DNA sequence: ATGCCTGCAAAGCTTTTGCAGATGC
DNA sequence: GCATCTGCAAAAGCTTTGCAGGCAT
């Protein structure tokens, strides 16, 4: 994920865009909100406005460079679009997010939709639960 | 769905609450936003504030009288909680919502979660597609 | 040089909250 | 009578937009 991807998407290679891509790439699968990214930028002493973060993320989404998700709680989170589709399990205690893909679920979705006379364009599947790990601090906020 | 349900939930039987229950019950499965309900109330010349609609819906949700869903677009929609669980297919053209339940999907969700070390508390599954019906006007706004 | 980008501030939209008065039980 | 409830208006939270200047190509 680099500058060439920006060019390919018809976007000029600018500092904010490159920085935001880097942050998403370095998030190790964590799903970041606009505010999260903005905070990281400030920590790096980058002079980039929150509005720009939103604008860039929206452009990235339109260019299919990132995916936007609406987990519980009003704020959207973003992750790099690595190509292969997956769904999410979110821990209600610690906010930890795990990704999964189950072709059985995908298939049944398609047939359920067809049975109802729909042609699926996309879907959103989010499981909410408890991960019960040692590191899980039973705090409801994302770390 | 009547006054007794309110009492059972520890809520006083007041005009706004009864009216809102009625509107949800009379929506024939349509999923209404707070604003939708507020509009219906105004049409009925009921002098009930939008803040009250939100408050009542939140209380109803806590009392498990209604379910809240976040379909695409920032606004939440509500439906009566009739007991049996189901998921949703939303038409991207006309906003038509169909409900479904597939025990195969439910089962696989549980096993996928267990495999990841989670215990599922709840889930959100929404399919987005095109219903392609005669009545489907290809307009993106909810009718 | 030109047109796309950005920062800032202000606005937009949905939802929540504070408060004084009203209402159910 | 007393606690709960409601209307209004104001605030809050997330996100978008207008505008004037800045930067990539």
H or E segment and range at residue A139: none
Residue A4: the pLDDT is 76
Residue A135: the pLDDT is 75
Q: Which of A138-142, B32-36, B39-43, B96-100 has the lowest mean pLDDT?
A: A138-142
**Unique residue bearing structure tokens 């006054």:** B3
CA-nearest residue to B124 within chain A is A126
The answer to whether some atom of strand D lies closer than 7 Å to the beta carbon of A76 is: yes
Higher-confidence position of A142 and B14: B14
Q: How far apart are the first and last CA of chain B?
A: 25
Whether the predicted pLDDT of A142 surpasses 90: no
pTM above 0.85, yes or no: yes
Alpha carbon distance B13, A48 (integer Å): 52
For the beta carbon of residue B29, count every other beta carbon within 10 angstroms: 10
Whether the predicted pLDDT of B140 surpasses 60: no
Residue A93: the pLDDT is 87
Higher-confidence position of B140 and B102: B102
Q: What is the pLDDT of residues A77-136, one digit of tens each?
A: 999 999 899 999 999 988 889 999 999 999 999 999 999 999 999 999 999 999 987 777
**Residue ranges with strand state E in chain B:** 32-33, 66-69, 77-80, 87-91, 97-100, 119-130
In this prediction, residues B57-82 reach a mean pLDDT of 95
In this prediction, residues A23-40 reach a mean pLDDT of 95
What are the C-alpha distances in Å from A57 to residues A77, A79, A102, B37? 10, 10, 28, 33
Residue A143: the pLDDT is 34
Task: Give the whole-number percent of chain A exceeding pLDDT 90.
Answer: 80
Residue A139: the pLDDT is 46
How far B103 CA lies from chain A's nearest CA (Å)?
10
Contact yes or no for B129 and A118 at CB 8 A = yes
Strand C contact nucleotides, protein CB < 7 Å: 4-10, 13-18, 23-25
Nucleotide nearest to B20 (CA to C1'): D6
Residue A3: the pLDDT is 73
Distance B49 CA to D10 C1' (A): 14
- CB hemisphere CA count around A34 (13 angstroms): 19
Residue B143: the pLDDT is 34
Residue B74: the pLDDT is 87
Higher-confidence position of A73 and A13: A13
In this prediction, residues B109-137 reach a mean pLDDT of 91
**Unique residue bearing structure tokens 């505010």:** A35
């Amino acid at each position: 994920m680099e500058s060439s991807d920006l060019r390919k998407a018809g976007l000029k290679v600018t500092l904010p865009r490159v920085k935001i891509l880097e942050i998403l790439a370095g998030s190790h699968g964590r799903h970041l909100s606009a505010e999260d990214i903005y905070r990281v930028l400030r920590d790096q002493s980058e002079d980039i406005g929150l509005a720009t973060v939103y604008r860039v993320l929206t452009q990235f989404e339109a260019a299919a460079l990132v995916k936007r998700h609406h987990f519980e709680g009003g704020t959207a989170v973003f992750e790099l679009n690595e190509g292969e589709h997956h769904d999410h399990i979110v821990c209600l205690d610690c906010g930890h997010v795990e990704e999964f893909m189950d072709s059985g679920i995908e298939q049944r979705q398609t047939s359920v939709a067809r049975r109802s006379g729909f042609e699926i364009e996309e879907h959103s599947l989010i499981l909410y639960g408890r991960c019960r790990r040692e590191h899980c601090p039973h705090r409801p906020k994302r770390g």
